[in-house]
Structure 1
């Protein structure tokens, strides 16, 4: 992946070396306003759904919540890993900004937080053991960069594009949040039993994989910074972090009903759906008859 010398994002908050801390949980409730209307319009365009239907899905009971946004701090370090994640994040901002503009909406970029061990988030205390994650409560992606060592050394998924795929997947969750998919799915899961909720989670995660593929295709179209080996690295990473592969590597029986992210084959398939098409419409995992 030829990423050196490309633009870097300022939406990076570097908490490394600051120590961990406690974190509260987000307050429930949703509100509907111009932002939600814009979400419904763009989501309707992307998925071919009537925006009025989406507005009914996005609005709901509960008390309105006012979320305060803080300007992201500039990352104080200039090491190669920081430069890499800032470069990948910047490109996701460019690509998703274009996708949203095509749909008549404005993309609101997430902040990427670099941390060690643990850190407070709007979704509770984030732990390195959780791996990279996205918190919709504060619209931030969290990652302890030592996860990349785990990805390479323990999971057998080396390569910088494998690392970029991880970031793109988490940004995919941010896109889901902006489109109102996250809230809709959370409400759905509250009505489901454990097996059903797991199956819904799989569709959420596979869609984020597909969104990562959309980013990769559009990014490659404009930058020409990927080689076939880079896509192979992403496919290898998707294989290594499939639920079935992880269960086998842990010496456990493979139990599909317990899957929350999808099998290796499913994760590869949906990433490639996004990559081959470059279209968000190819990522409707929720209406897919087979995954």
Structure 2
């Protein structure tokens, strides 16, 4: 992926030197939550999803996470290659979604992206690096600890810069859903459903975010021609590694479709490819699809 030299976003907030802010988080094996609940939350919401603290809070019977005081962010330092990569990818999502919203007669409100290390307060509760990247609709920010990319490469077996770009594009996809009012409707529907039915809605939400990531990749490649042979395959590999079925098998657990919250590896690949092939937001209507 030939990303160097492109525009960087002004919406990156670096709080990595703030000293963290883990207050309000959940300790493994302590309090109301045991290791089983932690594993469920990390598998269900940690990789490419909305803050897993929401899942942990529900599992513990507690209230939804409350807003905490966020540290003051600043622009990343010059010469930080990891931050520069994230900033350039975010800038391109801004350009692509800005044009698509404008073509539809709407205005795209750009999200912020927060770089943190270890833990940080968010409007959705305390974010922790072990949760992986997530989008918080309460403050309209994407959060990522760049050490996740080491996990993606070494532990999940998904190397490649475009696999990393896919991570960002998926989280921005959740912001697009929030902008379109989809997030609010999906959450309202889940409140009226059984846990299994609610999980099925979550799967459609996540697969649509995958599809939106593909839509971004389609238009981004048309505009910049910055992808190399094998880049799309690296994103497909990442999608395969973080399917619910793959994560459950790798954790030594039985594959339980009723517990899925993100979709199978094949489903995640299919919906990213749908977005990439068509470049169409309408093609990403996972909620109307008879088959996922």
Distance 1:131 1:283 in 2: 24
Q: In structure 2, what is the equivalent of residue 156 of structure 1? A: 157
Q: In structure 2, what is the equivalent of residue 208 of structure 1? A: 209
Alpha-carbon distance, 1:71 to partner: 10
Q: Equivalent residues in 2 for 1:99-248 (5 A)?
A: 99-248=100-249
SS in 1 for 2:230: helix
Q: Does 1:4 align with 2:4?
A: yes
Distance 1:148 1:22 in 2: 21
After superposition, the CA RMSD in angstroms is 1.5
CA contact (8 A) 1:157 1:233 kept: yes
> How big is each residue's C-alpha offset from its partner over 1:129-180, in whole Å with a ceiling of 9 and x where there is no partner?
1110000111100000000000000000000000000000000000000000
Distance 1:89 1:3 in 2: 11
SS in 1 for 2:157: coil
CA contact (8 A) 1:214 1:280 kept: yes
CA contact (8 A) 1:23 1:121 kept: no
Q: TM-score, normalised by structure 2?
A: 0.82
Alpha-carbon distance, 1:22 to partner: 5.5
> How big is each residue's C-alpha offset from its partner over 1:40-91, in whole Å with a ceiling of 9 and x where there is no partner?
xxxxxxxxxxxxxxxxxxxxxxxxxxxxxx9973223531101100000000
Change (3 A) 1:72 1:179: farther
Distance 2:20 2:123 in 1: 14
Q: In structure 1, what is the equivalent of residue 19 of structure 2? A: 19
Q: TM-score, normalised by structure 1?
A: 0.82
268-277 or 245-254: which moved more? 245-254
Alpha-carbon distance, 1:9 to partner: 0.4
Alpha-carbon distance, 1:186 to partner: 0.7
Q: Does 1:278 align with 2:272?
A: no
Q: In structure 1, what is the equivalent of residue 267 of structure 2? A: 266
CA contact (8 A) 2:15 2:73 kept: no
Alpha-carbon distance, 1:18 to partner: 1.4
Alpha-carbon distance, 1:19 to partner: 1.9
CA contact (8 A) 2:11 2:113 kept: yes
Q: In structure 2, what is the equivalent of residue 44 of structure 1? A: none
Alpha-carbon distance, 1:101 to partner: 0.3
Distance 1:216 1:72 in 2: 28
Alpha-carbon distance, 1:194 to partner: 0.6
Runs of 4 or more above 3 Å deviation: 70-73
